[in-house]
Each structure stands twice: as structure tokens, then as C-alpha cells.
Amino acid sequence: MINLALTGTIEVQPDDFQVVSALLHLNLDGVGYKEFFAHCFAMSLLMEAEVTSANPFTMVPKTDKNIFRSYSTFKLKTAE
């Protein structure tokens, strides 16, 4: 739903999302960007203390999650 609200379709992620993956030097060969975008958005929400016990992304460094959170917050504020 976030993807749809930001881009008008669920098939593509926002253009600037590729910058985030590039900054983190992520190898996304064979990974669907739209699914990865959804996971990153979920990671940004799962940082809340109330839900950290349910976070399946324990292998992702907190610094990366903070970047996803900053990006997600920015996208939500600019979408208003």
C-alpha cells in the first residue's frame, strides 16, 4: 500500500530508493526491488520497542535499519 501511495503502482519502488541501496553497497542481483522496498519499510517500523521481539530482520545491522527508517520517514512526510 505504501508503494501504491508513493508511486501510483505496486510494480515499482520510488526512483530515489535505488540511492538507499547504493549507499549501503547492497548486492541486489536477483532480488525484486519492490519486495526489498517493502522489507526495508517493515524494518523501519519494526524498530519500535513494542514490536522488536517480533522483528524477523535480526541479521540486519541497526545502522542500516536507521537509514531505512530515515528514508521511510522522509517519504511519508513528502507524500503528504
Which pTM was predicted?
A: 0.77
Least confident of 2-16, 22-36, 61-75: 22-36
User: 38: exposed, middle or buried (C-beta count within 10 Å: 0-12, 13-18, 19+)?
Assistant: middle
- Using DSSP's 3-state secondary structure scheme, residue 8 falls into coil
Q: What pLDDT band is residue 30 in, cutting at 50, 70 and 90?
A: low
Q: Which helix (H) or strand (E) holds 78?
A: helix 62-79
Q: What pLDDT band is residue 80 in, cutting at 50, 70 and 90?
A: low
Which pLDDT value is given to residue 38?
86
Q: What pLDDT band is residue 70 in, cutting at 50, 70 and 90?
A: very high
Domain interval for residue 15:
2-79
Q: How far apart are CA 47 and CA 55, in angstroms?
A: 8
Number of domains in the chain: 1
